[in-house]
Amino acid sequence: MELTSVFNPSSPQAWAIANLGIFMIIIAGTILAIIIVLVTFISYRFRRKPGDDEEPRQVYGNEKLEIVWTIIPFLIVAALFIFSVITMVKVNPSSAIIEDQKPDLVIIGHQWWWELHYPKSGVVSANEIHIPVGKKMLVRLESIDVIHDFWVPEVARKIDLVPGHPNYMWLEADEPGIYLGQCSEFCGIAHAHMRLRVIAHHQEEFDVWEKGQLYVPPTPRSGEAGKGSKLFKEKACMNCHSIAGTDAVATVGPNLTHLATRTTIGAGTLLNTPINLAKWLKNPKGFKPGALMPNMKLSDDEVNAIVAYLEALK
Amino acid sequence: MSRIPWVPETTEPLPRVGESEGLLTWAASVDHKQIGIMYFIAALSFFCIGGLEALLMRIQLSRPDNNFIDPELFNQLFTMHGTTMVFLVIMPFLIGLGVYLIPLMIGARDMAFPRLNALSFWVVVFGGLLLYYPFITQSGATDVGWFAYTPLSEKPYSLNNGPTYWALALLCTGIGSVASGINNIITIITLRAPGMTMRRIPLFVWLLLVTSFLLAFAIPILNAGLVTLLLDRILEANFFAPSSGGSAILWQNVFWGFGHPEVYILVLPAFAIICEVIPVFSRQPIFGYGFMVGSAIAIGLLAFGVWGHHMFAVGLGVPFNTYFSLASMLIAVPTGVKIFTWIATMWGGKIYFATAMMFATAFVIEFVIGGLSGVAFAAAPLTWQLTDSYFVVAHIHYVLFGGSMFAIFAGIYYWFPKWTGRMLSERIGKCHFWLMLIGFNLTFLFQHMVGLLGMPRRVYTYPDLPSWNWLNLLSTIGACVLGFSVLIFIFNIFFSLRKGKIAGNNPWNAWTLEWLAASPPPVHNFDEVPRIHSARPLWDLAHPDMPDEPESFNTGVTR
Ligand SMILES: [Cu+2]
Ligand SMILES: [Cu+2]
């Protein structure tokens, strides 16, 4: 989990690209090695000896040689091109599939977080993509503001989230685990904090997760959490966030219905612990400069109450 | 063979910059040499500013979760760094080099349109000031990246004035560049010395001719795009705003339609420098003049048909990706021809490793690294992993620093004697070279790796991942070495301007016409230009018994 790498693929699509990458490295490495050796050799062998002032033989070229070194790159390029086209077809869903199939997951880019919808089950979440291992998920990508870019090197190709131009890709993981990723099209001030993770489970575990996400947690009426749920309404939180089972239905910010089941807050900015959550509520921009959640000027008591409420949302 | 008249060492030296009256003669000058030198001074000043911006970024990135610079400033820094280096350093330097050398190399008195030439320069300077103006005002400089993707660069997402100034600034430099392109083309076509057919002009001039066509045809695409962006920003025209029916992708087509030819505007003149330096220091003619010219023209034409490789991740479908993959890969062929030609030119020569030649040799290798990673980007599926990562940052720097800038340094060490009458110190120069070589590779080689490990570009900070930390630290150390080498270079200039060895007309024993003129050349360049019989007129002069090949497209000749 610590190491993300293009050459540590964990899906057929990422494998296809990695294989092309290895092919490219072999070709490029060979060419580079030849050129370095040649230039070093020539620099040594043909350097001017001190005192030798005579001009060398004047060679104006050699047509055959020049034709040869025009044709050889052609052949290399042809091989690389064919391999690329094969890889392209392997990695992308065909247009027939895009037309026929309903997407399994819709990712909507927002300035500095990821909105997630699973249209088939109705699950809504943010920033952490849960998928079952070994299943090819058809993903539709959109953006509601600027261009973002989905990049989780080990499990999928990179693709832009373009406003007004939905894109499709395959998302799949061979092994259960957490795969780290990040928005990689510069999208404004908090671009560096627009991280995401793909969490791959065995199918049974995924089903459990899915069920949990569809469960509507009861709204607490008493205690700290009850106070928190009231504050959530009063403090304008509901103008931006949704929580299932309440009348908070806004989508300016991430859906908070099952916030407590997520591992991070602020699109990977902080680990999701009660202490961090309290810090976040007091001053979101302190941890994620530019974040579009305002500082709500909450008192410590108010923060504790809201944290208790949000922690109860499982 | 006609006799070549002896040119007196100095006739009318150019006025010194320091004198009060001299200053005015520079500002009001329409002399191509003075304008060329002013281009160099402007470009090197902006180079220091852009380098400082880069150093600040590298300090911020030296360790994870660093707080040295906040994201607002960081985003301005990388945007200004990119814009500065492309539009205010490499372009003006190379255009200036053309302005200085083209008339001398073709035996002309000046450019075809000297006043237009002066206008081009001052418009570029004005553009630079416009770009930097908001940096010192409250609104802050542009912070949307040097390619200013819409809709991020549109009003709702960038309310500050930075991007507006950015667009106006580039419009200014753009107008200057188009004028330079046209001026170069007409100069080269109409003002050549008697006997200098198109097959006998130095390769430098040929490659600048191709570049000038790129300037004249690619920059207007950018200018049109900038005007459209300004309409959006100032008059709410919504061309690029998808929320109001515009298209976000349209901007990318326009920008890269200019942007890829731009790469060759930045690189072909670098090739041009290398085409002069390598033969002179290897004491051989270029190995295959015809192929060199042909491949440059091929690159120039292909350059207009490959912009889509910057947009493989946009999701534009298989036909788009297939075509642009193929077209982009094809550029490798003429580029390969150039590399092999330079190597073959060195083969069998008697290579004298002056600092200029060391930079040129390093250029060949560094540029090959950048070129090969460029071929990787032509393969769309590889772009689907590598674009917008640190890998692409490494790639552009191998092309534009290891390529263009190394060539520029080769050119400076080579032509400085002509510009000033004094040699740059070779001792300090070698110091500069080795430090720059080490610093450059240390900075950028590891960025390939950190990109492959998943680090995106343009992040002001990154999480504490062990593999990223030390690679970033190495890169920062490299940047400091690089910065230090630039200081040495600047010292060398000031030192050599006072204490450098007197150069004489032709210190390198070179063959093109500029070395016939005095160093520095008098205002009128030549008292008399000899009739030209080959691409190497000064070789003919030195070896009347063994004149140069008169038909440079002939290949396969050995003498
Ligand atoms: Cu983003
Ligand atoms: Cu390009």
Residues in CB range of B197: below 8 A, 6 or more apart:
none
**Would the CB atoms of A89 and B463 count as touching at under 8 Å?**
no
Among the listed residues B332, B342, B403, the one whose alpha carbon sits nearest the alpha carbon of residue B374: B332
**Would the CB atoms of A190 and B71 count as touching at under 8 Å?**
yes
Shortest CA gap B447–chain A (Å):
13
Count of domains for chain B: 1
Say yes or no: B390 contacts chain A, CB-CB below 8 A. no
**B17 pLDDT above the threshold of 80:** no
What DSSP string describes B15-46?
Answer: PPSSSHHHHHHHHT---HHHHHHHHHHHHHHH
**B427 pLDDT above the threshold of 70:** yes
Packed helices B332-346 and A63-91: angle between N→C axes, nearest 10 degrees: 140
Say yes or no: B9 contacts chain A, CB-CB below 8 A. no
Q: Which of B384, B387, B460 to mutate to test the interface with A (most CBs of A within 10 A)?
A: B384
**B10 pLDDT above the threshold of 50:** no
The residue-averaged pLDDT of B492-502 equals 95
Q: How far is the CA of B267 from the centre of ligand 2 (A)?
A: 12
DSSP 8-state symbol, A190:
T
**Which residues on chain B are in Cβ contact (under 8 Å) with A111?**
157
Packed helices B426-452 and B406-420: angle between N→C axes, nearest 10 degrees: 160
Nearest to B555 among A66, A165, A181 (CB): A66
Query: What's CA B218's distance to the chain center, in Å?
Result: 15
> Regarding the domain with residue range A1-45+62-214, which homologous superfamily does it belong to in the CATH classification?
Cupredoxins -  blue copper proteins (2.60.40.420)
Nearest ligand for residue B399 CA:
2
Q: What is the pLDDT of residue A59?
A: 87
Establish if B367 belongs to a structural domain: yes
Say yes or no: A151 contacts chain B, CB-CB below 8 A. yes
B528 confidence band (pLDDT: 50, 70, 90)? confident
Q: What is the pLDDT of residue B63?
A: 93
B139 confidence band (pLDDT: 50, 70, 90)? confident
Q: What is the pLDDT of residue B12?
A: 53
Selected residue with higher pLDDT from B235 and A1: B235
Q: What is the pLDDT of residue A308?
A: 94
Q: What is the pLDDT of residues B62-92, one digit of tens each?
A: 999 999 999 999 999 999 999 999 999 999 9
**B439 pLDDT above the threshold of 70:** yes
Dist. CA B345–CA B325, nearest whole Å: 31
What stretch of H or E contains B407?
A: helix B406-420
Nearest to B329 among A77, A89, A181 (CB): A77
Dist. CA B537–CA B379, nearest whole Å: 44
Amino acid code (one letter) for B251 = W
DSSP 8-state symbol, B86:
I
Among the listed residues A153, A172, A13, A195, the one whose alpha carbon sits nearest the alpha carbon of residue A89: A13
Dist. CA B350–CA B281, nearest whole Å: 8
**Which residues on chain B are in Cβ contact (under 8 Å) with A17?**
381-382, 384-385
- Judge contact between B99 and B11, C-beta under 8 A: no
Name the residue in chain A with its Cα closest to that of B369. Answer: A32
Name the residue in chain B with its Cα closest to that of A58. Answer: B559
Q: What is the pLDDT of residue B432?
A: 97
Packed helices B114-132 and B71-83: angle between N→C axes, nearest 10 degrees: 170
Among the listed residues A80, A86, A88, A84, the one whose alpha carbon sits nearest the alpha carbon of residue A31: A80
Establish if B50 belongs to a structural domain: yes
Q: For residue B520, count other CB atoms closer than 10 A to its CB.
A: 18
Nearest to B351 among A46, A84, A169 (CB): A46
Among the listed residues A233, A196, A232, A179, the one whose alpha carbon sits nearest the alpha carbon of residue A115: A196
For the full predicted model, state whether its pTM sits above 0.90.
yes
User: A223-311: which CATH topology?
Assistant: Immunoglobulin-like (2.60.40)
**Would the CB atoms of B333 and A77 count as touching at under 8 Å?**
yes
Whether the predicted interface score ipTM is above 0.85: yes
- Judge contact between B381 and A88, C-beta under 8 A: yes
% of chain B exceeding 90 in pLDDT? 86
% of chain B exceeding 70 in pLDDT? 95
**B3 pLDDT above the threshold of 60:** no
Nearest ligand for residue A193 CA:
1
Q: For A175, phi and psi rounded to 5 degrees?
A: -120, 145
Q: What is the pLDDT of residue B18?
A: 55
**B16 pLDDT above the threshold of 70:** no
**B169 pLDDT above the threshold of 80:** yes
Residue in the structure block whose two tokens are 């998302």: A171
**Would the CB atoms of B465 and A290 count as touching at under 8 Å?**
no
Q: What is the pLDDT of residue B555?
A: 61
Q: What is the pLDDT of residues A41-58, one digit of tens each?
A: 999 999 999 888 889 989
**Would the CB atoms of B382 and A146 count as touching at under 8 Å?**
no
Dist. CA B117–CA B111, nearest whole Å: 7
Establish if B21 belongs to a structural domain: no
Q: For B390, phi and psi rounded to 5 degrees?
A: -65, -20
Q: What is the pLDDT of residue A51?
A: 86
Q: What is the pLDDT of residue B19?
A: 58
**B193 pLDDT above the threshold of 70:** yes
**Would the CB atoms of A289 and B70 count as touching at under 8 Å?**
yes
Kindly tell me the sign of the dihedral angle through the C-alpha atoms of A8, A13, A19, A25: negative
Lowest mean pLDDT among A69-78, A214-223, B497-506, B545-554: B545-554
Q: What is the pLDDT of residues B256-272, one digit of tens each?
A: 999 999 999 999 999 99
Domain that holds residue B359: 33-542
Q: What is the pLDDT of residue B251?
A: 97
Establish if B377 belongs to a structural domain: yes
Q: What is the pLDDT of residue B420?
A: 94
**Would the CB atoms of B242 and A165 count as touching at under 8 Å?**
yes
- Judge contact between B71 and B61, C-beta under 8 A: no
B198's tokens = 């198109």
**CATH assignment of the domain containing B322:** 1.20.210.10
Dist. CA A262–CA A127, nearest whole Å: 9
The residue-averaged pLDDT of B392-407 equals 97
Name the residue in chain B with its Cα closest to that of A87. Answer: B381
Q: For A199, phi and psi rounded to 5 degrees?
A: -115, 115
Q: What is the pLDDT of residues B248-306, one digit of tens each?
A: 999 999 999 999 999 999 999 999 999 999 999 999 999 989 999 999 999 999 999 99
**B336 pLDDT above the threshold of 90:** yes
The residue-averaged pLDDT of B312-328 equals 95
B373 confidence band (pLDDT: 50, 70, 90)? very high
Q: Rounded to 5 degrees, what angle do the CA atoms B198, B202, B205 make?
A: 80
Q: What is the pLDDT of residue B14?
A: 61
Kindly tell me the sign of the dihedral angle through the C-alpha atoms of B291, B297, B301, B306: positive
- Judge contact between B433 and B363, C-beta under 8 A: no
H runs (alpha helix) in chain A: 12-45, 63-91, 95-100, 203-214, 223-234, 274-282, 284-287, 300-311
Say yes or no: A50 contacts chain B, CB-CB below 8 A. no
Dist. CA A69–CA A61, nearest whole Å: 12
**B413: exposed, middle or buried (C-beta count within 10 Å: 0-12, 13-18, 19+)?**
buried
Query: Please, which residues bridge with residue A64 across strands?
Result: none
Residue boundaries of the structural domains of chain A: 1-45+62-214, 223-311
> Which positions 123-162 of B are in contact with A (Cβ < 8 Å)?
143-145, 149, 151-152, 157
Q: How far is the CA of B104 from the centre of ligand 2 (A)?
A: 32
Amino acid code (one letter) for B145 = G
Q: What is the pLDDT of residue B181?
A: 97
Q: What is the pLDDT of residue B2?
A: 39
The residue-averaged pLDDT of B206-214 equals 97
Say yes or no: A110 contacts chain B, CB-CB below 8 A. no
Please give the interface size between A and B, counted as residue pairs whose CB atoms are below 8 Å apart.
295
Q: For A148, phi and psi rounded to 5 degrees?
A: -120, 180
Shortest CA gap A236–chain B (Å):
23
**Which residues on chain A are in Cβ contact (under 8 Å) with B82?**
none
- Print pLDDT tens along chain A (314 aa): 456 889 999 999 999 999 999 999 999 999 999 999 999 999 999 999 988 888 998 988 888 998 999 999 999 999 999 999 999 999 999 999 999 999 999 999 999 999 999 999 999 999 999 999 999 999 999 999 999 999 999 999 999 999 999 999 999 999 999 999 999 999 999 999 999 999 999 999 999 999 999 999 988 888 889 999 999 998 889 999 999 989 899 999 999 999 999 999 999 999 999 999 999 999 999 999 999 999 989 999 999 999 999 998 88
Among the listed residues B391, B386, B399, the one whose alpha carbon sits nearest the alpha carbon of residue B313: B386
- Judge contact between A178 and A198, C-beta under 8 A: yes
**Which residues on chain A are in Cβ contact (under 8 Å) with B557?**
59-61
How many residues belong to chain B?
559
